[in-house]
A and B are shown apart, each in its own frame.
Chain A
Amino acid sequence: MKDVLRMAWILGVVTVLAAAVLGAVNHVAKPRIEEQRRLALEQALLSALPKADPRAIVPVYEGDEIVYYKGYAQPDTTGLVGYAFVARGAGYSSEIETLVGVDTTGQIIGLKILREVETPGLGTKIEEVRYGEKDPWFQRQFIGKRARQLAVDKDGGEIVSVTGATISSRAVTNSIRKGLEELEKRLGGFSKTAQQVSD
């Protein structure tokens, strides 16, 4: 019995020690991790709304849920450049999440795929950056398009799908179209002309 108590005691001490060490490390690392997360979101939002000021992209809530973001050119939230929202669609083996930015007229100005677990080399080509290029060719096609133009070539649309991964391509395309239509409904329609943004 005494033995058991001794061992429990040792084990307890070791565990508490370990927890303490980890607590310390966590204390140092946690801000970094959160910073990284924030940075990742900021990066994504910036690729969706390239002209917005990083400090002036504000979430719009509906209840607890962020339904879209508004991006402004100035840090004092003036000069609306557009909106950003997350589109979700079922791909081949995962739900694909895309952050999409549109200007005030509903024309896509940027996008970034946030999450996707498609087949490597097949579905993941929706994020492929060809050698010597800077951005993913598949996503580049969406820039400048509006909701009604969004359909993959197989469905008679203008988006060239990734060969052998029509399902993934279709998921991205259709989810963005749906998201755009929803946003339009929420906003009560896009404006006819683009806001003049002074740099």
Chain B
Amino acid sequence: MEDKLWKVSTSPHLSDRESIPRIMWLVAASLAPAGIGAVYFFGARAAWTIFLAVASAIATEAAIQKLRGKPITVHDGSAFVTGLLLAYNLPAEVPFWIPIIGSAFAIALGKQIFGGLGYNPMNPALLGRAFLLASWPTHMTIFRTPPRGGTISGIDVETGATPLNLLKQAQDVLHQAKVAPGEVPAQKISEAMMHISKLYESYGNLFWGKVGGCLGETSVFLLLIGAAFLLYKRYIDLRIPVGYIGSVALLTWAFGGSEGLFTGNPLFHVLAGGLVLGAFFMATDMVTSPITPRGKWIFGIGCGVITVIIRLIGGYPEGVSYSILLMNLTVPLLDRYTKPAIFGARKR
């Protein structure tokens, strides 16, 4: 028999077939239905925006890695996913430079400055969005293109804005009427009430995506297809979305109504805005979410609580991005204080 020196390595000598590129590209694939939906609903402009965001993310990643003399790893798909998710978080009619600058910021200051994949403490795509929102709020809050087959707010009114935007405005009116009776014209009050009740009945539009909003967030149906795939592949942990959506539903039901406790409409709040996108695809970003089972529960619930606070009393109609970013900050603490019990440590 041949006499040679064999290669050695440490155990285990097998591995399952998962790899980071495989995970990332399949996540990208699971986001494809929503992307196709975005192009269908909002037109070719959406495809262009998505392309620019992704291309800029990949180019930035490659450029920085080259500058640092590190191996270029854009083929692993993580920059692609970041660009994609950033694009999904943009309104349809942003100028072309918005996705480019947003992705560059997300990758450069959200990810590469910490050493690249795996080291970033906060969700790069959401940082990109929050950066854009703080830098050019006017571009980021204009929703004018109605989706094909629907209206911007999902009800038959002209007043621009996404369902959550409209809800916030209407609730502001009702609040104003409450604190200063007699000052708000009765016609405005009844209009606001009509809007709210119509919004609350627009489940169908919200579910299929025939409402205004950011590119990738409108169709709950298409997002759920991708989410189901990820759950099946076990790439995402159910604890985070369940904790997240569950707490949003509970809290909006409890505090979201104008007629006292437990008069809110949880289903509307779950379907509207970017909650489904955020809960299944962004809060679950493994790099920036806790690693321990208990930590994941706390993380999900924390996201839900902050989202509801922002939606109900905050300065924005939508709170998903900020809630995830804020909870990202707690991840090292959560990981530290929710370590699983080591085998044999419980029973002494």
Contacts and interface: CB of A to CB of B under 8 A. Distances in A.
B315 A163 contact: no
A99 to B, nearest CB: 22
B145 interface: no
8 contacts: A92-B315, A122-B137, A163-B138, A164-B137, A164-B138, A164-B141, A167-B315, A178-B183
A79 B289 CA distance: 71
Interface residues of B, number: 5
A9 to B, nearest CB: 51
A138 B174 CA distance: 27
* Interface bin, chain A: under 10
A196 B79 CA distance: 72
Nearest to B136: A164
Interface string A78-122: 000000000000001000000000000000000000000000001
A122 B138 CA distance: 9
A178 B141 CA distance: 29
Interface string B173-185: 0000000000100
Which 8 pairs show the lowest CB-CB distances between chains A and B?
Answer: A164-B138, A164-B137, A163-B138, A122-B137, A92-B315, A164-B141, A178-B183, A167-B315
A167 to B, nearest CB: 8
A92 B315 CA distance: 8
Contacts, number: 8
A199 B250 CA distance: 68
A23 B183 CA distance: 52
Contacts of B141: 164
B274 to A, nearest CB: 20
Nearest to A178: B183
Nearest to A167: B315
B316 to A, nearest CB: 11
Contacts of B183: 178
A9 B152 CA distance: 76
Interface in B116-144: 137-138, 141
A92 B316 CA distance: 11
A178 B315 CA distance: 23
Interface string A157-179: 00000011001000000000010
A68 B196 CA distance: 40
B314 to A, nearest CB: 12
Interface string B315-338: 100000000000000000000000
A178 B183 CA distance: 9
Contacts of B137: 122, 164
Given A164-B137, A164-B138, A178-B183, 5 more contacts: A92-B315, A122-B137, A163-B138, A164-B141, A167-B315
A105 B111 CA distance: 62
A163 B315 CA distance: 16
Contacts of A92: 315
A167 B315 CA distance: 10
Contacts of B315: 92, 167
Interface string B138-160: 10010000000000000000000
Interface string B273-313: 00000000000000000000000000000000000000000
